[in-house]
Amino acid sequence: MSYWLLLTCSVFTFFILYAVQPLLALFAQHYQVSPATAGSLMTLTMAPLAIAPLLYGVMLNRRNLYRVLQVVMVTLALTNALVPLTEQFWQLQALRLIQGLALPAALTAMTASIAIRYQGAEVSKKMSGYIGSTIAGGFLGRALAAGFAEYLSWQSFFWLNSLLLLALAACIRAHRAPIRQAHTPLRGNLSALLNTRILTLYASVFCMFFCFAALLNYLPFILRSTYAMTNTKNIGLVYSGYLLGALTTFVTPYLQKRCANIFSLLATVFLGYSATIALMFWHSLPVFLVAFTCFCASMFIIHATAAPLVNRLSSASASLTNGVYVSFYYSGGALGSFVPGLLYQAYGERAFLGCLLLVCLCGYLLIAVPQRLGTDKTCT
């Protein structure tokens, strides 16, 4: 399986995860449910992503990773094709839960295969490319879903994506050059991850994605209530700030080479991440759009730095190292996609943003600890 085919699979896999996000307000109206209940469509998908990678990281240790990816993509295609046929909201929730159980196997297989196939600085480069593909998938999934809902129908987008997933699954040749890992005892794998630098890095990633998932999940509601933006197409276009994140992932390896301490780089970007949330308290649409764009860029610099760094620091198997990373990442997303929404419903936008700012500053403190300890002083 070529690297570029893997990136293409990543793009369309992320369509599954994020296409519903700009449609949440539409679903809330269509199914007559509250914003927090509509937001559960993201929570139900991210909750398994927070737990399953821990199990999958162990299960995939001796599996053909490409075969796993192929089976998961077929599963996602079939469940995605059923989404437009749902008549009750609980049916839609059930399908999203099944997708959430399947997605972590695909994400763990893709990241583990990159970590196995490439070495040294090449891992950072290839992982940055992979993260760029997830950004592209996240943006295009949101933007195209919103565009289809405005000009055609949201149902047609889901069916089209299912066909593309089946076509890509057929292109994977899992029987050729299978990617497997050497078996490592579970106890040795786990003890390798019980390291201050690795654990604080995982925890900071949790904080990072908590904030990101929360803001992007409730962005349609904020744009409607605070800035009177009711057009689904325009809401989808606001997500274009997300695209700048894709550009920053490609300059991240350069930033890493220029820094004296990679944890210092992460801490600085976390402070910038916090500053963008603080700017959103100022109710001005131009300021919000600029802050949102910088918010996305900051998040992806952190992600593109942390993902290869944890692989470099860990001596555990690639599948378990990346499985735990995915678990922390999406556990933050699962909580972020729901808990701040309760604050938003009860106390409004300022309480919502205050929660995100507090969690983001916690992420900064988690990164600052290994920085003060002087660990990992070089970037290469």
**pLDDT tens digits for range 299-349:** 888 888 887 788 777 666 666 777 778 788 878 887 887 788 788 878 888
Q: What is the mean pLDDT of residues 59-64?
A: 64
Contact 232/22 with Cβ under 8 angstroms?
A: yes
* Confidence band, pLDDT 50/70/90 cuts, at residue 181: very low
User: Does residue 159 surpass a pLDDT of 60?
Assistant: yes
Return the structure tokens found at 378. 């070089």
Longest distance between any two alpha carbons in the chain, whole Å: 56
Output the pLDDT for position 63: 65
Q: How far apart are CA 35 and CA 27, in angstroms?
A: 9
Contact assessment for residue 361 and residue 274, using Cβ atoms and an 8 Å cutoff: yes
Confidence label for 57 from pLDDT (cuts 50, 70 and 90): low
pLDDT tens sequence across 28-39: 877 887 776 777
The predicted pLDDT at position 83 comes to: 83
How many Å apart are CA 343 and CA 333, to the nearest integer? 16
Tell me: pLDDT of 227 over 60: yes
Average pLDDT score over residue span 84-105: 85
Q: Say how far apart CA 56 and CA 65 lie, in whole Å.
A: 11
Distances (CA, A) of 225 to 35, 254, 348, 349: 12, 40, 10, 9
361 has pLDDT over 60: yes
pLDDT at 58: 60
Residues contacting 95, CB < 8 A, separation 6+: 79, 80, 82, 83, 86
Question: With 50 as the cut, is the pLDDT of residue 177 above it?
Answer: no
Q: Is the pLDDT of residue 109 over 50?
A: yes
- DSSP per-residue letters across 174-229: TTSS--------HHHHHHHH--HHHHHHHHHHHHHHHHHHHHHHHHHHHHHHTT--
Contact 264, 256 (CB under 8 A): no
Residue burial 28-37, b: 16+ Cβ < 10 Å; e: rest: beebebebbb
* pLDDT, mean of residues 166-177: 74
Indicate the pLDDT class of residue 374, thresholds 50, 70 and 90: low
Q: Is the pLDDT reported for residue 175 higher than 60?
A: no
Averaged pLDDT of the chain: 78
C-alpha separations of 182 from 56, 64, 164, 203 in Å: 16, 12, 33, 28
The whole-number pLDDT of residue 60 equals 63
Radius of gyration of the chain (CA): 20
> What pTM did the predictor assign?
0.70
Predicted local distance difference test score (pLDDT) of residue 230 = 66
Q: Which of 64-68, 145-149, 155-159, 246-250 has the lowest mean pLDDT?
A: 246-250
At 324 the pLDDT is 79
Q: Which two tokens stand for residue 245?
A: 């994140």
Average pLDDT score over residue span 235-262: 70
Q: Which residues, other chains included, contact 376 with Cβ-Cβ below 8 Å and sequence gap of 6+?
A: 197, 261, 262, 263, 309, 313, 370
pLDDT of residue 260: 67
Domain boundaries, the chain: 3-373
Among candidates 144, 140, 107, which has minimal Cα distance to 242?
140
> Closest by alpha carbon to 253, among 120, 135, 133?
120
* pLDDT the model gives residue 276: 92
199 in Cβ contact with 313 (< 8 Å): no
Task: State the pLDDT at residue 208.
Answer: 92
Residue 100 CB-density burial (10 A; 0-12 exposed, 13-18 middle, 19+ buried): buried
Residue 380 or 126, more confident: 126
Q: Note the CATH architecture for domain 3-373.
A: Up-down Bundle (1.20)
Say which range, 48-62, 201-215, 289-303, 322-336, has the weakest mean pLDDT.
Answer: 48-62
In terms of average pLDDT, the best of 233-247, 272-286, 300-314 is: 272-286
